[in-house]
A = this chain, B = another copy of it.
Amino acid sequence: MTVWDRPEQPNRPVPLDRERIVAAAVALADEGGLAAVSLRKVAARLNAGPMRLYGYISTKDDLFDLMVDAVYAEILPGERPGDWREALRSLAHGTRRAALRHEWLADLLGGRPALGPNGLAVSEATLAALDGLADVDTVMRAVETVSAYFTGAIRREITELRAERATGLSKSEWQRARGPHVTRMLATGRFPALAKAVHDGTHVDAEESFATGLEWVLDAVAARLG
């Protein structure tokens, strides 16, 4: 019996670490949404028993926190931004792009404090970009206001994306009708302003709409930063 006959690691289980676990969970979530992430499935993907994971996380929410922090690593800007406005803008767009890559992020964003290393690093980079432009409280308010905007906007965008996908309707068709139920509701005449908005509104690209609202908010912030 030579070495070649023996498997490389006789009965040794595959080594595990948080990185591998989180990567498996992210992969599952990317494929089937957050609902597809179960400890059993994550473990199975790593050729391990479910209980094995509890050596690295102590609860499922821990895993979600780690997943979010992993995405923050993708968001973290590489180089120092030109100015505060560029910093906030790129944070917003970066988060949005991350959410389009990992739609489940929309379900988690803002749902728990982001205290992981990458989340903190993003906060640090953002605050650093605004440092000294105003008193600390004003700077905080600025960051929080912009964050609130893009968090909410991303959530809505992903929600609508899913709704469109659920009904087989084309995007513009959906935009105009939003399914039979809303069509019927609008036909009752009880919602004239809404009907007008749906009927007369031109279809606007999601990214452009996101960007426009963002610039408005940035303008508002600029007015306070002086």
Which interface residue of A120, A148, A153, A155 has the most chain B CB atoms within 10 A? A148
14 new A-B contacts, CB < 8 A, other than A136-B202, A144-B213, are: A110-B155, A110-B159, A111-B155, A115-B185, A117-B185, A128-B193, A137-B201, A141-B209, A144-B156, A144-B209, A145-B216, A152-B155, A216-B221, A220-B220
| A148 & B149 in contact (Cβ 8 Å cutoff) | yes
| B152 & A112 in contact (Cβ 8 Å cutoff) | no
Chain B residue with minimal CB distance to A199?
B136
Provide the residues of chain B in CB contact with A212, threshold 8 Å. 141
| A156 & B148 in contact (Cβ 8 Å cutoff) | yes
Give the distance to chain B from A111, nearest Cβ to Cβ, in Å: 6
In the bound assembly, the distance between CA atoms of A194 and B113 in angstroms comes to: 14
Query: Of the candidates B107, B145, B193, which one forms a contact with A213 in the assembled complex, judged by CB atoms under 8 Å apart?
Result: B145
Give the distance to chain B from A210, nearest Cβ to Cβ, in Å: 9
In the bound assembly, the distance between CA atoms of A156 and B109 in angstroms comes to: 9
Interface membership of A12, Cβ < 8 A: no
Interface class of chain A by DSSP: helix
Query: Of the candidates B124, B150, B153, B160, which one forms a contact with A113 in the assembled complex, judged by CB atoms under 8 Å apart?
Result: B160
Query: Of the candidates B120, B181, B221, which one forms a contact with A194 in the assembled complex, judged by CB atoms under 8 Å apart?
Result: B120
